[in-house]
Amino acid sequence: MTAFMCDQDVAQRVLEHIANGTTDAGEGLWREPVQNYVCPRRFADEMQRVLRRYPIPFCPSAALPTAGSYVARSAAGIPLVVVRGEDGVVRGFRNACRHRGVQVAQGSGCARAFRCNYHGWTYRLDGALQHVPHEEGFPGLAREHHGLTPVQVQEKAGLVFVTQQQDAIAANLDELPVFFTPDQQLFNSREYTLDVNWKVFLESFLEGYHIKPAHKETFFPFGYDNLNLVETVGRNARITFPFQRMEKLRDIAPEQRRVDGLLTYVYHLFPNVTIAVLSHHMTMLILEPVAVDKTQVISYSLTHTTLKGEAGVEKARNDAAFVSTTGQAEDIALAKSIQASLHSGANEVFTFGRYEQLIAHFHRNMQALLKA
């Protein structure tokens, strides 16, 4: 597929599944060796061969609202900083002073320049080395060769993508829908660390087979047992979780159907980012692999496109609080439970079934790129 289905086609297909008691399903099984979740060498290969070579969503454009807005954090274990320049263009750099490597930016904020807090070397927002205190101490130093080291940045679909290495893997960002528009408010960003492998956590987002048993009292009462649409576009994917209130669309002409508030979309942006579109808000989660058994989750929440003003933010906050304290907490507990058993020897492989085909799609792509 070259694009995700439009909302009207989604509505039609969901209504057919409801009527027929069916769901989207893949062909066969996928068997993933458990070793691939625990082996430090495999983890290092995933970082080196995939995450540092792929254009990876780094933050929403909304996190860089004005000239000088920056976000500094590690991506695939490498400290980076992205910043919107005076010219409005977003640039990215390895976050390391060209004197002796101290990180020149921390966290997020707005800066006119980056000044290293070790010896005071100062860089412009475009990375150029602007000032060296007591420069006579560096006879012959070519300032133009000591600017911050750039990484490739693309701003597309309301997101900022970063590719760290020159030997980049080709990925078509034009096939992505626009996720965030400028009228959506970024109302929350936070980080937390989970003692789980990044792929174990990721997999919890990519199938709806678990909704009834795992979210019995939280998500399931609004939804269905094992009823989802799954789509792939390139290496990316989307899973649709319809709510029961979707059925009221039966009485509406197909071309007039609106799905806002009637379903949840979860996009998987290969390899380590999810974007969930919920009733009143959208959350982007970046799963930053820290170690084979540790993942830092960076979360950005924005208001849904349908909401305006302060009342909208309030609704979005309530929606987000419900999700994170109920269903998401359940998913995290399950991911920790899986992580605890990885070394038990009970499973040499994990078997993913026909209702878990987006997980197979993910592993198939990882496998191909690791070999490439």
Binding site for ligand FES (CB under 6 A): 97, 99-100, 102, 116, 118-121
Residue among 58 and 114 whose Cβ is closer to ligand FES: 114
Map the footprint of Fe ion across residues 332-361, applying CB under 5 A: none
What does 102 interact with, of ligand FES, Fe ion, none (CB < 5 to 8 A by kind)? Answer: ligand FES
Find out whether 26 and 357 touch, Cβ atoms under 8 Å.
Answer: yes
When the beta carbons of 4 and 205 are compared against Fe ion, the nearer one is 205
Nearer to Fe ion, 171 or 323 (CB): 323
Nearest to 11 by CA among 262, 199, 284: 262
**In the complex, least distance from residue 209 CB atom to Fe ion, rounded to whole angstroms:** 10
Measured distance CA(37)–CA(194) in Å, rounded? 15
Helices (H), 55-111: none
- Tell the residue number behind the tokens 């909704």, with chain if given: 211
List of residues 6+ apart from 326 with CB closer than 8 A = 215, 218, 219
Q: Which is nearer to ligand FES, 28 or 133 (CB)?
A: 133
Shortest reach from residue 211's CB to Fe ion, in Å: 7
Q: Which residue, 137 or 213, is less far from ligand FES as judged by CB? A: 137
- 118's contact among Fe ion, ligand FES, none, with CB below 5 to 8 A by partner kind, is ligand FES
Tell me the closest approach of the beta carbon of residue 138 to ligand FES, in angstroms. Answer: 11
d(CA 303, CA 277): 10
* Binding site partner of 97, from ligand FES, Fe ion, none, Cβ cut-off 5-8 A by kind: ligand FES
Rounded-to-integer distance, Cα 108 and Cα 91, Å: 15
The item of ligand FES, Fe ion, none sharing an interface with residue 99, based on CB under 5 to 8 Å by kind, is ligand FES
Judged by beta carbon, residue 97 or residue 369, the one nearer ligand FES is: 97
CB of 288 to ligand FES, least distance (A): 25
Q: Judged by CB under 5 A, how many residues of this single chain contact Fe ion?
A: 1
> Which one of 32, 288, 331, 356 is in contact with Fe ion (CB under 5 A)?
331
Which two structure tokens, joined as six digits, stand for 325?
């304290």
Report d(CA 179, CA 275) in Å as an integer.
Answer: 8
Distance in Å, CB of 168 to Fe ion, minimum? 33
- Within 8 A by CB and 6+ apart from 337, the residues are none
CB 284 within 8 A of CB 173: no
Alpha helices in the chain (DSSP H): 7-20, 35-38, 40-45, 198-203, 211-214, 309-325, 327-341, 357-371
Two structure tokens written together for 244: 């029961």
| Contact of residue 331 among Fe ion, ligand FES, none (CB under 5-8 Å per partner type) | Fe ion
Q: Kindly report the number of other CB atoms within 10 A of residue 167's CB atom.
A: 8
CB of 81 to ligand FES, least distance (A): 14
Three-class SS of residue 256? helix
**Min dist. Cβ of residue 214 to Fe ion (A):** 6
Q: Which residue, 80 or 97, has its beta carbon nearer to ligand FES?
A: 97
Tokens of 151: 């990484």
- Indicate which of Fe ion, ligand FES, none lies near residue 1 (CB less than 5 to 8 Å, by partner kind): none
Residues within the interface to Fe ion (CB under 5 A)? 331
